[in-house]
Amino acid sequence: MEEGRLNLDDPAAMILNDIDYVQFDQIHMADGQSYADQITVDNLLQHRSGLADFFLDAPTRFNLSVLTHPQRQFPTQRIMETYYRYNMHEAAHFAPGEGYYYSDTNYVLLGLIIERLTGQSLPEAIRERILIPTNMSETRFEYYEDQPISAPQLDSYLGPINMTRYINLSYEWGGGGLVSTTHDTAAYIKALFAGEYFESDQTLELMVDNSANAAEGRSYARGLYHYDIHGLTFYGHGGFYGSLLIHNPTRGVTLSAHIAQASPPYSAQTLIDAVVEIVLSD
């Protein structure tokens, strides 16, 4: 946006229509009518497109498929083919802009937009614009980037299943397909709020503005959640396997953590609250 390559209110179709396997004109259907042309870039950023998610909306079918073929690679074409095979294009939750529903489909499409506008792969664009400038040398785009890291990778679990060791997680892609360390991710969010990625402070203000979703009781902004903890607003995001990255710019407090279990036998939120309370008391 800052480089003038797009506006947030641009129709996503304007950028993605010519990718055959995306079938963008069919991506959001209701009662035989397509609403795809109403989806804006900003709808995708704020999870306000209404698009379904085959992880969340067809979990049994998807999980059985992954467990049956645990090492299957998911290039973006296969991700979109799975979306249509499961008829997710006919399972939209609402018309674009009329609600909030977290769907990784939004960020897969945003990843494709980045690739179209930059001429780079998504891993290349992220490395050039974020990882290298912030010296995040222990971070890589898993399954799509042959980038060595110095330490062994921690195994993460879904209940008893070791997802890291036995499952090819390439289907995450633009929805969260990076592996990193708590140190690197903390460096990222500090750099973000220090203004190191944007030309204008107003761009960061736009990124953390959650007014559209807050009107519906939701805390999501554009790529970041708002977390209210002990009277302070933290900004950040969680991950499926119990990772969390939050930052409060007023107090300069950053918490980057990973518990390596998607379904822990305790309340992760209670743990986070307790840790933040200890940090704030110092």
DSSP 197-236: S-S-HHHHHHHH--HHHHTTT--B-SS-EEEEETTEEEEE
pLDDT (mean) for 202-222: 97
Band (pLDDT 50/70/90 cuts) for residue 262 is very high
In sign, the C-alpha dihedral spanning 251, 126, 119, 34 is negative
The answer to whether residue 171 scores a pLDDT higher than 70 is: yes
Residue 258: its H or E element: strand 253-258
49-107 pLDDT, tens digit per residue, is 999 998 899 999 999 999 999 999 999 999 999 999 999 999 999 999 999 999 999 99
**pTM reported for the whole predicted model:** 0.95
Distances in Å between the alpha carbon of 138 and those of 95, 126, 226? 40, 14, 26
Cβ atoms 222, 207 nearer than 8 A: yes
pLDDT (mean) for 195-201: 96
* Vertex 266: Cα angle to 156 and 210 (nearest 5): 80
Task: Retrieve residue 21's tokens.
Answer: 């396997």
Q: Which of 261, 270, 257, 269 is nearest to 241 (CA)?
A: 261
Looking at residue 282, its pLDDT comes to 67
Question: Which residue is it, tokens 């073929």?
Answer: 69
The answer to whether residue 270 scores a pLDDT higher than 90 is: no
Q: How far is CA 102 from the centre of its chain?
A: 9
Looking at residue 214, its pLDDT comes to 96
Looking at residue 269, its pLDDT comes to 80
16-47 pLDDT, tens digit per residue, is 999 999 999 999 999 889 999 999 999 999 99
Band (pLDDT 50/70/90 cuts) for residue 139 is very high
Burial class (CB in 10 A: 0-12, 13-18, 19+), 159: exposed
- Kindly list the structural domains of the chain, giving each domain's residue range(s) and its CATH number in brackets, ordered by start: 1-119 (3.40.710.10), 159-282 (no CATH)
Looking at residue 200, its pLDDT comes to 96
Distance CA 181, CA 151 (A): 9
Strand partners, 162: 157
The answer to whether residue 125 scores a pLDDT higher than 90 is: yes
Q: Dihedrals φ, ψ of 203, to 5°?
A: -70, -45
Looking at residue 201, its pLDDT comes to 95
Distance CA 200, CA 219 (A): 24
CB atoms within 10 A of CB 214: 14
Looking at residue 272, its pLDDT comes to 82
**Percentage of the residues of the chain whose pLDDT score is greater than 90:** 88
Task: Retrieve residue 260's tokens.
Answer: 């390596």
Cβ atoms 108, 175 nearer than 8 A: yes
The answer to whether residue 165 scores a pLDDT higher than 80 is: yes
Question: Mean pLDDT, the chain, as a whole number?
Answer: 95
The answer to whether residue 268 scores a pLDDT higher than 90 is: no
Residue 178: its H or E element: strand 178-179
What are the helix (H) ranges across the chain?
A: 13-16, 41-45, 54-57, 59-68, 76-85, 104-118, 122-126, 163-166, 182-193, 201-208, 211-214, 268-281
